[in-house]
């Protein structure tokens, strides 16, 4: 089995990720989050929110709708940008407008698909591995109300960012934030990808964590550097292997015309080096387009300079699923267990691991041990330490299970515990065991799993 297959299999076996609509044969390239996966995913989103919203005085949160006014997508350029005939390289997943290729559009305006069949990808150089051209909008279309008329057409958002821009004025009017300030949002985004795949890397439904950080135009470089450092800090904090991460500046020729600087944060996945996150300086492109589109002034009055202007924006854009995929490839480790047998463990930071601690009775058929273990488990739960109670199989099996789901500590209640009110605590990575008094257990867990 390849590393990729081993990880996919672990995520299914342990209840992290299931195929969408599994019992109906599965919906291709769709994935759902099982009981363990939802804990991991929520922990990651909470950690991001805590670091970039709660802990910062200069960032506020927002939760906008998935379906916005269709004019939002007109103004943002999404309606137009995504409705050209597109082809996508099956090797590197770069997309190209087919009508840019010489000879593709014939004299009568018809498509000449043969041109595409032999087309060499300008990005990775692969020849003849393009998808057929499709004039489709990457946005999922739907209809509001009962009748499917074009007047009722609406779209599922392809990114969370535009929901932020359209509430810029509301936030300035209600909270009067001073520049620089950011608006953050976590939520679902939908893209009718031509070639989804590589497990949860590219899906049609995914989650984004985005910040639009509004700044004075002349200060853009300073803030860009700040957010680059913040992204590095985040990558370390969440447990992604920095040795596999590359910050690549996008050359001017490939950048969006409005961006003075864009960085693709890439990760060495087993299927190649691919985009993990994006960091872009977007100028005032979005606010000025929404000002034109809505005919509402979105100018910001700056008390310091006594001027009204459109702030510029720095956008760190992170995918939740790609974070998890990079994290799984970073945290998946193998070594030898207490009995000399090969074991797999997930070296997850405690802050994102589904559980911080597992609590076991040494034997699963001794009511007095089960009762004491339940007592300890409830005590930890009441102290807000995410814990799991496990009495299935023997102790070796339980260690193996907890290692595979990344639980940092395992606590065992044995016969001695009934006498001395102490327990054995085993650490996931080192497998070292220590005897800890039950009354000190929560502070011990807190200090060792910060």
- Quote the least distance from Cβ 201 to ligand ATP, whole Å: 6
Q: Tell me the per-residue interface mask from 341 to 380 with ligand ATP, x by CB under 6 A, - otherwise.
A: ----------------------------------------
Query: Does residue 312 contact residue 251 with C-beta atoms inside 8 Å?
Result: no
In angstroms, rounded to a whole number, what is the distance separating the alpha carbons of residues 230 and 243? 17
C-alpha to C-alpha distances, 21 to 32, 41, 113, nearest whole angstrom: 8, 20, 35
338-376 residues labelled b (16+ CB within 10 A) or e (exposed):
eeeeebebbbbbbbbbbbbbbbbbbebebeebbebbeeb
Residue whose Cβ sits closest to ligand ATP = 319
- Quote the least distance from Cβ 186 to ligand ATP, whole Å: 12
- Of 237 and 363, the one with the shorter C-beta distance to ligand ATP is 237
- Quote the least distance from Cβ 196 to ligand ATP, whole Å: 7
- Of 318 and 370, the one with the shorter C-beta distance to ligand ATP is 318
Strands of 409-413's sheet, edge to edge?
A: 387-389, 357-361, 409-413, 422-427, 433-437
Burial class of residue 320 (count of CB atoms within 10 Å of its CB; 0-12, 13-18, 19+): buried
In angstroms, rounded to a whole number, what is the distance separating the alpha carbons of residues 387 and 238? 20
- Of 262 and 412, the one with the shorter C-beta distance to ligand ATP is 262
- Of 317 and 449, the one with the shorter C-beta distance to ligand ATP is 317
- Quote the least distance from Cβ 370 to ligand ATP, whole Å: 43
Give the rounded distance of the alpha carbon of 266 from its chain centre: 14
Q: Tell me the per-residue interface mask from 180 to 219 with ligand ATP, x by CB under 6 A, - otherwise.
A: -----------x-x--------xx--x-x-----------
Q: Tell me the per-residue interface mask from 286 to 325 with ligand ATP, x by CB under 6 A, - otherwise.
A: -------------------------------xxx-xx---
* Count of chain residues binding ligand ATP (CB under 6 A): 15
**Residue 224 dihedral angles phi and psi, to the nearest 5°:** -60, -45
- Of 275 and 442, the one with the shorter C-beta distance to ligand ATP is 275
- Quote the least distance from Cβ 79 to ligand ATP, whole Å: 16
DSSP 8-state code for residue 353: S
- Of 48 and 345, the one with the shorter C-beta distance to ligand ATP is 48
- Quote the least distance from Cβ 320 to ligand ATP, whole Å: 8
Query: Does residue 195 contact residue 90 with C-beta atoms inside 8 Å?
Result: yes
Whether the CA torsion 155, 160, 165, 171 is positive or negative: it is positive
- Quote the least distance from Cβ 342 to ligand ATP, whole Å: 32
- Quote the least distance from Cβ 185 to ligand ATP, whole Å: 13
- Of 227 and 355, the one with the shorter C-beta distance to ligand ATP is 227
Please tell me whether residue 162 binds ligand ATP under the rule CB under 6 A: no
- Quote the least distance from Cβ 205 to ligand ATP, whole Å: 8
**Residue partners of 46: CB distance under 8 A and separation at least 6:** none
C-alpha to C-alpha distances, 174 to 86, 167, 169, 310, 442, nearest whole angstrom: 42, 11, 8, 18, 42
- Of 322 and 426, the one with the shorter C-beta distance to ligand ATP is 322
Residue carrying structure tokens 């342990």: 14
Q: What is the largest CA-CA distance in the chain?
A: 91
Please tell me whether residue 277 binds ligand ATP under the rule CB under 6 A: yes
Residues numbered 247 to 276 that lie near ligand ATP (CB under 6 A) are 275
Query: Does residue 313 contact residue 213 with C-beta atoms inside 8 Å?
Result: yes
Query: Does residue 86 contact residue 137 with C-beta atoms inside 8 Å?
Result: no
Burial class of residue 28 (count of CB atoms within 10 Å of its CB; 0-12, 13-18, 19+): exposed
Please tell me whether residue 157 binds ligand ATP under the rule CB under 6 A: no
- Of 316 and 361, the one with the shorter C-beta distance to ligand ATP is 316
Burial class of residue 147 (count of CB atoms within 10 Å of its CB; 0-12, 13-18, 19+): exposed
Of 30, 177, 278, 299, the one binding ligand ATP (CB under 6 A) is 278
- Of 64 and 203, the one with the shorter C-beta distance to ligand ATP is 203
Residues at the contact surface with ligand ATP, assessed by CB under 6 A? 159, 191, 193, 202-203, 206, 208, 275, 277-278, 317-319, 321-322
């Amino acid at each position: 089995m390849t590393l990729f297959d081993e990880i996919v299999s672990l995520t299914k076996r342990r209840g992290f990720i299931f195929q969408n609509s599994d019992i109906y044969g599965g919906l291709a390239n769709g994935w759902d989050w099982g009981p363990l996966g939802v804990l991991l995913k929520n922990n990651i989103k909470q950690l991001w929110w805590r670091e970039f919203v709660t802990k910062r005085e200069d960032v506020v949160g927002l939760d906008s709708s998935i379906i916005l006014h269709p004019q939002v997508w007109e103004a943002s350029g999404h309606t137009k940008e995504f409705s050209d005939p597109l082809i996508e390289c099956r090797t590197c997943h770069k997309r190209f407008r087919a009508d840019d290729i010489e000879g593709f559009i014939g004299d009568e305006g018809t498509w000449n698909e043969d041109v595409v069949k032999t087309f060499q990808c300008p990005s990775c150089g692969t020849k003849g591995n393009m998808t057929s051209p499709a004039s489709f909008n990457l946005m999922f279309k739907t209809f509001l109300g009962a009748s499917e008329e074009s007047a009722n057409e609406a779209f599922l958002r392809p990114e969370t960012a535009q929901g932020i821009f359209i509430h810029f004025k509301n936030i300035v009017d209600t909270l009067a934030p001073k520049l620089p300030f950011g608006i953050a949002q976590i939520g679902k985004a939908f893209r009718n990808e031509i070639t989804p795949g590589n497990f949860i890397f590219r899906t049609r439904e995914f989650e984004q964590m985005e910040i639009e950080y509004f700044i004075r135009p002349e200060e853009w470089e300073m803030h860009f550097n700040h957010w680059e450092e913040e992204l590095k800090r985040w990558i370390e904090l969440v447990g992604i292997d920095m040795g596999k991460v590359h910050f690549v500046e996008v050359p001017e020729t490939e950048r969006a015309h409005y961006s003075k600087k864009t960085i693709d944060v890439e990760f060495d996945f087993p299927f190649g080096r691919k985009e993990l996150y994006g960091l872009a300086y977007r100028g005032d492109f979005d606010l000025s387009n929404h000002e034109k589109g809505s005919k509402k002034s979105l100018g910001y009055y700056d008390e310091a300079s006594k001027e009204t202007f459109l702030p510029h924006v720095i956008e760190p854009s992170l995918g939740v699923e790609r974070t998890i995929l990079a994290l799984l490839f970073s945290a998946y480790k193998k070594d030898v267990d207490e009995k000399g047998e090969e074991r797999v463990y997930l070296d997850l930071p405690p802050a994102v691991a589904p559980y911080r601690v597992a609590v076991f009775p040494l034997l699963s058929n001794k009511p007095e041990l089960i009762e004491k273990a339940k007592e300890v488990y409830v005590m930890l739960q009441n102290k807000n330490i995410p814990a799991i109670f496990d009495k299935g199989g023997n102790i070796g099996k339980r260690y193996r299970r907890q290692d595979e789901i990344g639980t940092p500590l395992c606590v065992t209640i044995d016969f001695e515990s009934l006498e001395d009110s102490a327990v054995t605590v085993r650490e996931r990575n080192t497998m070292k065991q220590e005897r800890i008094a039950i009354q000190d257990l929560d502070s011990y867990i807190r200090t060792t799993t910060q």
